[in-house]
Amino acid sequence: MINFERNLKTAEPPYFAMEKLKVGIIGLGRMGGFFLNEFLKSPRWTVSSICEMNTAVHDEIHNRVPEATIVTDEDEIFNNPEIDAVVLTALADSRLRQIRKAVAAGKSIISEKPIADTPENERAACELVKNAKIVSTVNLYIRNSWYFKEIDDCIRSGELGELGIIRICHMTPGLSPGEGHEAEGPSFHDCGMHYVDVARQLARSEYKTVHGQAVRMWAYKDPWWLQCHGTFENGVVFDITQGHNYGQLSDKQTHNSYMDIIGSKGIVRMTHDFKTAVVEVHGVTRTERIERPYGGKNIDKLIEHFADSIERGEPDSMLPSFDDAAVASELAWKAIESALQSDLPVCGTSEELEQIHERRRTMKDGYGLLRRQTTR
């Protein structure tokens, strides 16, 4: 195990070239599978252990990662002194417990968002890591994207003049109601907090007001489409639209994703199709179209910054903090609570939702499909 105390207190270069960092992954569902893929590609990490409760997939995991120990008891990972870091990709109602164990064991943490299942537990998680001699971060993946950096650079360079308006939209036929993510909250909390976080980062300010409106798609108990708008303390206004309700039963599925950043002098806009992202700059000195691969969840970049941080003994500035995640989660809940103050219109029927579930059970290529084979 890397001697974190030594790295924290000395100016010696870290010794990642001498030994790989060892990671344990807890929960190998959809996101756990994404993390596993990237750790296996990285020359800086060894997947030492995987905790997965579904024993039916243990043989499959072993075939993919024969060097890893596969367990059903998370304590075997926390109690293993050789493991430097843990990745928490089980559902949110397990994370506070796991964060507490990781801190006690001196293991650095990558947590999926949200970092816990309630705002109170998220604040407790923030307190746990505040003075701990570990590195802790959260997978708020847009922060590690190339297009976020391009947009942010345009704002900071003055190309747009004074920043005034942030508009973000992300609608897909993705995760459908009742697919097992209730511990993460409704769609706007589970997914929308990514956009809440990135708007806050671009504004460089804290949220001041928020108002939400929502729709109960297919008569489901929770809203599955939500739009919120409001202001930051520095006067920047925002609107964020998110929903996993974009043509769930259409013959050929599509989506609608963009960021519009509007200043007093210019604009920058991003769109993507999950394969290619395009940033269009219309600034005071630049008119440019930048087209590059989308980059997916950017987990490769996250684990690289994470490794740098562990070896230096201090967090990389690129890493989202637990506090960032808690703020994004709290604002997402406030938007949902605001929407719930009004009678939510219902669109669609429970019978249509059953049709969606049946379609997604048999789809081989689609948006946000739950993985049947854990390690694929």
The CA-atom distances, in angstroms, between 358 and each of 223, 362, 366 are 21, 7, 13
The type of residue at 200 is R
- Give the integer Cα–Cα distance in Å for 30 and 368: 9
371 band by pLDDT with thresholds 50, 70 and 90: low
pLDDT at residue 10 tops 70: no
All domains of the chain in start order, with CATH: 4-141 (3.40.50.720), 142-296+322-362 (3.30.360.10)
Mean pLDDT (the chain, rounded)? 92
Give me the sheet containing 225-232, strands edge to edge.
287-293, 276-282, 267-272, 256-263, 163-171, 237-243, 225-232, 207-217, 346-347
CA distance 376 to 363: 16
- Rounded average pLDDT over 74-98: 97
pLDDT digits (tens, 9 = 90+) for 185-210: 899 999 999 999 999 999 999 999 99
Query: Model pTM?
Result: 0.91
**Confidence check: pLDDT of 14 > 50:** no
pLDDT for position 9: 37
Of the CA atoms within 13 Å of residue 331, those in its CB half-sphere come to 29
pLDDT score recorded for residue 4: 45
Pairwise CA distance, residues 101 & 97, whole Å: 6
Give the Cβ contact number of residue 365 at 10 Å: 6
In tens, the pLDDT along 144-162 reads 999 999 999 999 999 999 9
In this structure, are residues 46 and 67 in contact, taking their beta carbons and an 8 Å threshold? yes
261-to-16, 228, 352 alpha-carbon distances in Å: 39, 16, 36
